[in-house]
Amino acid sequence: MKVSVHKRAFLPLAAAAVATALAGCGSQIADPASAGSTASTGTSCVDTSGDSIKVGFINSLSGTMAISESTVFDSLTLAAEEINASGGVLGKQLQVVSEDGASEPTKFAERAGKLIQQDCTAAVFGGWTSSSRKAMLPVFEANDALLFYPVQYEGLESSKNIFYTGATTNQQIIPALDYLAEQGTTSLFLVGSDYVFPRTANKIIQAYAAAKGIEILGEEYTPLGSTEFSTIVNKVRDSKADAVFNTLNGDSNVAFFRQYKSVGLTADTMPVVSVSIAEEEVPGVGLDNVEGQLTAWDYYQTLDTPANKKFVAAFKAKFGAERVTSDPMEAAYTSLFLWKAMVEKAGSFEVDQVQAAADGVTFEAPEGLVTVNGENNHITKTPRLGKINSEGLIDTVWSSPEAVEPDPFLATYDWAKDLAK
Amino acid sequence: MMGLLRGRLGTAAGFTLGALLLLGVAPAVLPVFSLGLLGKFLCFAIVAVGIGLAWGRGGMLTLGQGVFFGLGAYIMAMHMKLADASLFGGSGVPDFMSLYGSGEVPGWWEPFRSPVVTLLAVVLIPGLVALVLGLAVFKRRVKGAYFAILSQALAAAFAVFLIGQQATTGGSNGLSGFRSFFGFDLKDPNNKVMLYLIAAVVLLLSIALARQLMHSRFGELLVAVRDQEERVRFLGYDPATIKTVTYVVAAVLAGIAGALFVPLVGIISPADVGVIPSIAFLIGVAIGGRATLLGPVLGAVSVAAAQSALSSTFPSFWVYFQGLLFILVIGFMPGGLASLPSLIGRRGKFRTAASTPALPVAPAPASPAALLKPEEEAAMPEEARR
């Protein structure tokens, strides 16, 4: 009895509510051809009238990635300060709006939307994990805004709204394989965390190995954050591979290297090439566990270039002498200067003009001269193999003779034809 | 009789006011971006309505609503991916599948090409999973902590499963990059407003549903099962059925919320469905007041809004703050903020009766409440109205 009375009270209200909702319909996609180009709603709200310009930094300052990403935030902050001290961009001081991605892709997408739509920033810098980039990509494309992504990644991507200032695979993984092959490596064991970067990297390594006659003796994955490696380490030892290619990320490296050492494997008996361990991660993994092991990056703190000396000195002066600089930090630092150079070449903060001006823009980065490739929005980089020394820094043991053109889809490699369909 | 009438009128008035605020005032006042954010919070609120029923009224501490939320979300995301692929790509194969997978759409994706199947599945699949699970668990009289652990393990397993299926679920990247929603262009701000309105309407409907359930004989039985399960059984009812039905309702609400979340937010990933988000759903409910009708809704919205507002300014502080708030509420205010008025009322009486120094209970919740000024203000009129 009571129930029916209530029901009657609610029904008309509910009906009215549904009607209201349906009245608000917008455009439907009728013609797919035009749909792609439907004027993006992001009619830019960037304010260029004052004597400052807003830029956004988006990094995980909390969650599992905070330990890595906060270092990128620091170097971005340094770059912004240096640019402001030298007169800003087009005479405007940078006003930084920073957002926390909280190590969650969804958060990155949401916060990127805020930086573009609510804060009206002229460009956004940051992101680390592939999932954070994949989450932000549609946001930047839909709003026609700019993201500068500073971390090495798995390639197979290109967006006119993202500038990739970290290495793509032909600037990190393939040179590392070339180096191993040159050293006489004939067999490899692949160990990685279970997410898109290691899986794609290993797909590339498999194709490379098949073409160059290198034997892959095993391919093992563990969930991100996993610390149980005894089975894998035993498999690695029993495989008697010439070397291990390590795409583990984060805390897993600590457990992996500790257990690797405990079964008697060393850098001399079976070297491990890591692509996610930089200067910043060495103390965490434990210098004892990784000393002498190999890394593949495009930048090391020990590089002897004038720009690097200046960068390292400025960073230590600002954040403390005990702090180190790493490849992603350098790529982030570089990204802000590249944007500045693009804007100054374009003479405008407008996204389409910056995009048009991007091709051929150069910057004397700590890693050496980098040039933007306007076709795929990546930059030239100089691949370097490094060896972790007794101080926990990384010495260059091999360096590409010249900067390598970015080739995210590996179009120039015959053996990679089937990878990017 | 008078009280009954006033209650009914009050409810209708409250409902109308809520509908006016959500459907009229908010879209008129808020910019599209904030409206999208609010829409996301409303999705959490829909989940919270279900948790309020299952946990607050039914005593089932469900730590795994992320599973049902994720099922609804992934079903919707799969449909949107497939629809986009045939609308824009022509090939009918979602982009990530050709990048990381075999380039072929797996068989179990195919049914979700159909919009009708998708809409049905969003409701039926979470409901069915909950039904099977509920029957298996409650018929065996698994309850309390065992049920909580089981539901949480399920959420953990679900997230691990999704991460492992890079080629078919997008792995840890999840599914994102949607461009259309049942043929509507997602770039169009009008359509974003429409999505928000749909979420708001669904929330209002789910509140109405929860109220009907609470005030029905079924709702009274549910409370009885929560408080004295054995006695209900002796009276000839089957507590397992009552619990299962409630669990299914909560799961269906979570599934619908997930399906609305995807077009509003533009991404679903394992990080949104695992253990942590499942617990996060609960925090809002607990803080708001789990056994009340509006407590879970207001709690979920305010916690999500506070997180959005505070987490960027104090990234690491937020987690501790949220934890502290949760502990304080559970420890000193088990009824949540919804019980604040009666707590204050009681304290006032104590003070006049005997001017004892403040009870240890009172000042503790007062401090987080002071920190939470805007939320409190948002919560108070609602409470006063009821």
User: Smallest Cβ distance to B98: which of A131, A200, A421?
Assistant: A421
Q: Which among A194, A191, A202 has a CA at the least distance from the CA of A257?
A: A191
Q: What is the ipTM metric for this complex?
A: 0.84
Average pLDDT, chain A: 89
Torsions phi, psi of A243, nearest 5? -155, 165
Q: What pLDDT is attached to residue A420?
A: 60
Report pLDDT for A41. 45
- In the numeric block, the tokens 């032909």 are attached to A170
Checking if the pLDDT of B362 tops 70, the result is no
Q: Residue B127: pLDDT above 90?
A: yes
**pLDDT value at position B317?**
82
Q: What is the pLDDT of residues B76-102, one digit of tens each?
A: 999 999 999 988 877 788 888 877 777
Residue in A9, A99, A106 nearest the CB of B312: A99
Please answer whether residues A354 and A346 qualify as being in contact, where contact means their C-beta atoms are separated by less than 8 angstroms: yes
In this prediction, residue B382 carries a pLDDT of 39
Comparing CA positions, the residue from A321, A336, A335 lying closest to residue A94 is A336
Contact indicator for B243, B130 with CB cutoff of 8 Å: no
pLDDT of residue B184 exceeding 70:
yes
Residue B378, pLDDT score: 38
Q: Which residue of B has its CA nearest to A110?
A: B265
**Predicted local distance difference test score (pLDDT) of residue A9:** 43
Looking at residue A1, its pLDDT comes to 37
Share of chain B above pLDDT 70, in %: 88
pLDDT of residue B82: 94
Which domains are delineated in chain A? 52-166+307-381 (3.40.50.2300), 170-297+385-416 (3.40.50.2300)
Q: Would the pLDDT of B365 be above 80?
A: no
Please report the pLDDT score of residue B347 as a whole number: 64
Q: How many CB pairs under 8 A join A and B?
A: 201
Q: Which of A293-307, A386-400, B158-172, B359-373 has the lowest mean pLDDT?
A: B359-373
| pLDDT at residue A196 tops 60 | yes
Tell me the average pLDDT across B272-282.
92
pLDDT tens by residue, A362-384: 999 999 999 999 999 999 999 99
CA A43/CA A46 separation, integer angstroms: 9
What integer is the mean pLDDT of B131-138? 95
A18/B201 CB distance under 8 A: yes
Minimal CA separation from A6 to chain B, in Å: 7
Any bridge partners for residue A192, and if so which? A221, A247
Question: Residue A265 corresponds to which amino acid?
Answer: L
Check residue B330 and give its pLDDT. Answer: 83
Contacts with B238 (C-beta within 8 Å, 6 or more apart), sequence order? none
Q: For residue A7, which residues of chain B lie inside 8 Å, CB to CB? A: 212
pLDDT at position B322 is 83
Mean pLDDT (chain B, rounded)? 85
Q: What is the DSSP letter of B107?
A: G
Q: Where are the domains of chain B?
A: 31-273, 275-386
The per-residue pLDDT for range A96-148, each reduced to its tens digit, is 999 999 889 999 999 999 999 999 999 999 999 999 999 999 999 999 999 99
Encode burial over A187-201: b for 16+ CB neighbours within 10 A, e otherwise.
ebbbbbbbbbbbbbb
Q: Residues with Cβ < 8 Å from B126, sequence gap 6 or more? A: B67, B68, B71, B72, B251, B252, B254, B255, B258
In degrees rounded to 5, what are phi and psi of residue A334?
A: -60, -40
A290 to chain B nearest CA, in Å? 28
Task: Determine whether B90 is exposed, middle or buried from the number of CB atoms within 10 Å of its CB (0-12, 13-18, 19+).
Answer: exposed
Q: Which contiguous run of DSSP H or E holds residue A164?
A: strand A162-164
Six token digits for residue A89 = 């961009």
Give the separation between CA A26 and CA A72, rounded to whole angstroms: 40
- Mean pLDDT over residues B10-22, rounded? 90
Question: Which has more confidence, A419 or B54?
Answer: B54
Mean pLDDT, range B317-322, rounded to an integer: 83
Best to test chain A binding among B17, B269, B293, B318 (most A CBs inside 10 Å): B269
For Cα atoms B69, B73, B75, give the angle at the middle one, nearest 5 degrees: 120
pLDDT 10s digits, A240-266: 999 999 999 877 898 999 999 999 999
The pLDDT of residue B216 is above 80: yes
Give Cα separations from A30 to A51, A338, B291 (angstroms). Answer: 44, 40, 47
